[in-house]
Structures are given as structure tokens and as C-alpha cells.
Amino acid sequence: MKYDYLIVGAGLFGSVFALEAKKAGKKVLVIDKRKHIAGNIYTEKVDGINVHKFGAHIFHTDNKDTWDYINQFSDFNNYVNSPVANYRDELYNLPFNMNTFSKMWNIKTPDEAMAIINKQRQEIKSEPKNLEEQAISLVGRDIYEKLIKGYTEKQWGKKATELPAFIIKRLPVRFVYDNNYFNDRYQGMPVDGYTAIIEKMLNGIEVKLDEDYFSNKEYFDGIADKVLFTGMIDEYYDYCYGELEYVSLRFEVESLKTGNYQGNAVVNYTEFEVPYTRIIEHKHFELQVQKGINDSNTIITREYPATWKRGDEAYYPINNVKSNKLYEKYKELSEKQNKIIFGGRLGMYKYNDMDDTIEAALELCKVEL
């Protein structure tokens, strides 16, 4: 059977494209090497709790069109992301705001906080050249040392001085008492989990799971006019220019006989000596504690960063100068071929949030469909 598009990867990017292609009258086949759909946003209901199997995914956007698009597939609750940082048993609110500064320096006013930060910022006398300098220029040395350095170096597997400055620009800094992590207007969690969203997107579309594209590449390429590949672009080309750099992760899930383990959905462990970067308590995403639901058990996940090597699952690209230059070579190679399209975090080698992913997939649809 001949398809218009073979979509490799049943994650968010591939599923959005598959849905829009189907609506445009195209015949598509979606395959995934995993035994489930939804990629890294896969959620599984365990003991009445939607467990994020591959780390916390909180939907947020400032784009009303994107918010309306995702709301076609699920109702969303009013969860607000307000993580807590644990540094040597000292607890600090995130993002960096007046609650953080008050705890850090025993001060009360924005002027006091700004004076301390401005004094510490003076350590960086030129344009920040790396993540460490960027962080200090944003929030000063004290907050960098306690709440950024160890966490970041664990997460990326590199010294902060070896990471690009732009990574830390994602972190908001506020001189108000506001623990809402995101500045975006729209935020929440799907009430039935993310897997249900992808199920609706792929409804009526042919999907084959536990199918490794590379195990039968010649066959798969032959059954479709075009291939949308959402895996690693360097793997697609058999690493002909060398390996790009990625972050891998390991997840340790534990079910506990308590109604409320840590009082928050996300607690980051910012000291380098603690091997995991954060603990997620999934029921808080669904506001179950406030509603008195599942008050006798809870499920937590410890998230461990891991050095990526071939054969491991890649979760994030490491967009340093070296890897970005290497990616450009792969991108140039792909542009010479009409049949292959690359999408998603790994195919485009870009750290995208879920709203960015939807918008990028819809942009591709405009070009292709």
C-alpha cells in the first residue's frame, strides 16, 4: 500500500502533522519504535494518578491560537507551576522572586534585593560568554552557587562554563512575591493526561508500534512518497559527520503509602552531590491533594540525568557551539533531499516546549499540505 507520508515517531510533532495531513486528505502511516504512542509526553494512569513516565510536562503558551488548538483534544485544569528548590535542606521558591530573595538574604523589599544582586552582577564586566557568566549577570553569585550551578551541571553533564549563555535566559527573575514559574497567559494540565490527547489526534490514522524504522528502512522508504522523521537527525544519516550531543535521562518511580509526600509537584535538588535533579509528585499536577482525592497513596519519580551514548534514548539536544555547527552540516545534507523531512526536538536539534512543537508542526503543515 502506498502512503503520502510515513511519519516516524508518534510523539506530539508527528501526531499533529498526521492529524492535519489526514484532514487534508493525505494517506499517512505512523510508526514508533516504542510500544506506546505520545513519545516523551506519555502519561499512564496508575492508582488513579496520571504518571508522567518521561518527566514533567506542563503545557503553557502565550499564543491563544496554540492554546485553542490543544484544547480541542482535552479540558485543562488550572494547575500553576511553582517549583521549589532544595539546597542542603534549605527550601527556596522558584522562579527567582522576592520569596527567594527574602529567604536567601533575610530582606523584605525589592530595593534591598536589587541592591545585592546589582553588586554581585558587577563581577561580570563584559557580555556573558557562557552559562555561568550569564547566570551571575542575571541574579548574582549567591543564587548562582546555591540554586543554579549544581542543578545545571547535573542536568547537562557539563561544567556551567562549558554551556552556552542562552540556556539560562529561560529562567524568569521577578522582584515581586510571585511563585508562578511561567510568564505565559495560558497554563494547565490535561485532565485525562497527555496520552489521551495523542489518542484523539491519531484517531482513524494507521499506527504501528514497536516498529524500528532502521530495522527495515528500505521497505519503509518505499511505501511512502515522503518521510517525516522525528528522531535524531545524525542517527538518520548514520552519524556520517559525527555525533551530536544529547542529554539522556533515567527515571525511578516509587509508589508511597502517604497522601502527600513533598507538598509540591516539583522539587529541584540543586546541590551537585544529590544524584537526581528533581522529584516529581504526580498527583499535585491534578490538584488531587486540594480535592482530597487519593489521600492514602502517592507516586513520585526521581529524575536522574545521564550521559548519552549510542543506543540510549536522547531527550534534549545540547546546543553548544560545536554541536550547532555540526547540526548545520546535517541540515544542509537534508535540504538536498526532497523525500525526507525532519521535525521535533531531535530532528530539528532544538529545545522546544510543547507549544513551540505544535507551532513548528503547524508551520510545516502550511508548507507541505
Sign of the CA dihedral 345, 351, 355, 360? negative
pLDDT in tens, 269-310: 999 999 999 999 999 999 999 999 889 999 999 999 998 999
In whole angstroms, give the CA distance from residue 308 to residue 311: 8
CB 307 within 8 A of CB 246: no
H and E: helices and strands count for the chain: 13, 16
One-letter identity of residue 73? F
Q: What pLDDT, on a 0 to 100 scale, did the predictor assign at position 172? A: 78
Pairing relation of β-strands 49-52 and 43-46?
A: antiparallel
CB 194 within 8 A of CB 36: no
Peptide bond into 95 cis (omega under 30): yes
Phi, psi of 281 (to 5 degrees): -110, 105
CATH superfamily label, 3-75+187-246+319-368:
NAD(P)-binding Rossmann-like Domain (3.40.50.720)
Phi, psi of 90 (to 5 degrees): -95, 130
Grid cell of 354 as nine digits: 510543547
Domain boundaries, the chain: 3-75+187-246+319-368, 84-180
pLDDT in tens, 80-111: 999 999 999 999 999 999 999 999 999 999 99
Grid cell of 339 as nine digits: 523525500
In whole angstroms, give the CA distance from residue 233 to residue 365: 20
Mapped onto helix, strand or coil, the DSSP state of residue 304 is: strand
Q: What tens-digit pLDDT sequence spans the chain (369 residues)? A: 799 999 999 999 999 999 999 999 999 999 999 999 999 999 999 999 999 999 999 999 999 999 999 999 999 999 999 999 999 999 999 999 999 999 999 999 999 999 999 999 999 999 999 999 999 999 999 999 999 999 999 998 889 999 888 888 766 789 999 999 998 999 999 999 999 999 999 999 999 999 999 999 999 999 999 999 999 999 999 999 999 999 999 999 999 999 999 999 999 999 999 999 999 999 999 999 999 988 999 999 999 999 899 999 999 898 888 999 999 999 999 999 999 999 999 999 998 999 999 999 999 999 999
